[in-house]
Amino acid sequence: MSWRIVYVTESEEMKLYLDNLKVVKREQEILIPLSDIHTIVVDNHRTVVTGRLMNKLAEYHILLIFCDETHNPNVFSMGLYSHYRVYGVLRDQMKWNDEIKGEMWKKIIQIKIHNQLSVLRYLKNSDDSIKRLTSYAKDVMFEDRTNREGLAAKIYFNELFGKNFVRQRGAVDVYNSALNYGYMVLRACFARSVVAHGLHPSFGIGHRNQFNAFNLVDDCMESFRPIIDFWVYMIMNDAEYLDRERKQALIGKLHNKVQIGGQKQTVLNAIDLFVQSFIKAMDTKNLNLLTYPENGIAI
């Protein structure tokens, strides 16, 4: 069972030594067993990684993220065909019909709005927004045809981060950059889990953008987004910009416990549980099998 996150800020070389990750740092060597590692984040552009290590990382399903000059996650690598039954799973995935996809998408959006609600309830107490979100959650239609997701998100973000806040991908203000960072790491974790379970990440259910290689990943992570929003609110509250300590704090929070399927699990485990149950629910066309985070709060 993998449970460690390794965050490399300063190192000359990373290589393999007897199924251990060997990190060379100022002529000192540190060994970390690969079987413990879930994710490696490399936040500098001097580290050299050997090909032998890359191969072994794929074997152990370890997610390797490289950050660019602006310290934002930019590349992630994973073994593509690492599942033992890759054809069987893919065949089942191709059989998912539009009926079940639309229903599942509806359910995921409902969960997402409910989780947004739980964040608002925990942090703020604005009856008006809560009432509107509750009614939106109830009104979500097949395939979310009436776009309740977008309407809910607007109210939710304005309530959480202030009236002037506009959610944008390229924006550099404190909250947007932290959200982008958090979502990116979450997306990478989901991509790892989706691929490790043998699914093809491009064939989504709600997202069908022909230019997106990770449609299915974006579908699956929807209900986990409020967890990131909550952390960003807590961490960035009095910050002027997103610095390295806060980034590390954001990543470290992936070990917080979230309520899922009647028990408390780390967010990393919850992601795996979600993907497993998602596959089961889609294959058997029984949406009650889906286990998902019961609220957006992971402390």
Partner 1 sequence: MRLLVFFDLPMNTKEEKRIYIKFRKFLIEDGFMMLQFSVYAKIFPNRISLVQYVESLKRNLPKKGSVRAMAITEKQYENMLILVGGKTMQEQTVSDEPMVIL
User: Which residue ranges make up the annotated binding site for Mn(2+)?
Assistant: 149, 207, 222
Asked if 57 and 81 touch (Cβ cutoff 8 Å), the reply is no
Residue 218: CB minimum distance to partner 1, A: 26
Q: How far is the CB of 24 from partner 1 (least distance, A)?
A: 10
CA 137 – CA 93 distance, rounded (Å) = 27
User: Binding residues for partner 1, per CB under 8 A?
Assistant: 1, 3-11, 17-20, 23, 25, 28-36, 248, 251-252, 255
Nearer to partner 1, 59 or 98 (CB): 59
169 residue type, one letter: R
| Minimum CB distance to partner 1, residue 20 (Å) | 7
Cβ distance to partner 1 smaller for residue 72 or 126: 72
DSSP 8-class letter at 199: -
CA angle 15, 245, 76 (to 5 degrees): 40
DSSP 240: S
CB 108 → partner 1: shortest distance, Å? 28
- Rounded CA-CA distance 33/257 in Å is 24
The Cα-based distances of 171 to 152, 165, 179, 233 in angstroms read 21, 11, 10, 17
Of the pair 106, 247, the CB lying nearest partner 1 is at 247
Compute CA distances 222 → 39, 85, 111, 217, whole Å.
Answer: 21, 26, 9, 9
| Binding-site annotation, residues | 149, 207, 222
Q: Which is nearer to partner 1, 10 or 98 (CB)?
A: 10
Question: Using CA atoms in the order 153, 158, 159, 162, what is the torsion angle rounded to 10 degrees?
Answer: 160
Write down the least CB distance from residue 261 to partner 1, Å. Answer: 18
Specify the DSSP element, H or E, that contains 183: helix 174-196
Nearer to partner 1, 1 or 94 (CB): 1
Minimum CB separation of residue 164 from partner 1 in Å reads 34
Residues 6+ apart with CB under 8 A from 183: 221, 225, 228
**Which residues are paired to 35 by β-bridges?**
none
Rg (the chain; Cα; Å): 20
CA-to-CA separations, 172 to 70, 185, 204, 226, in angstroms, rounded: 11, 17, 29, 20
When the beta carbons of 16 and 216 are compared against partner 1, the nearer one is 16
- Of the pair 14, 160, the CB lying nearest partner 1 is at 14
Q: How many CB atoms neighbour CB 161 within 10 A?
A: 20
- Residue 232 beta carbon to partner 1: minimum distance, rounded to whole angstroms: 18
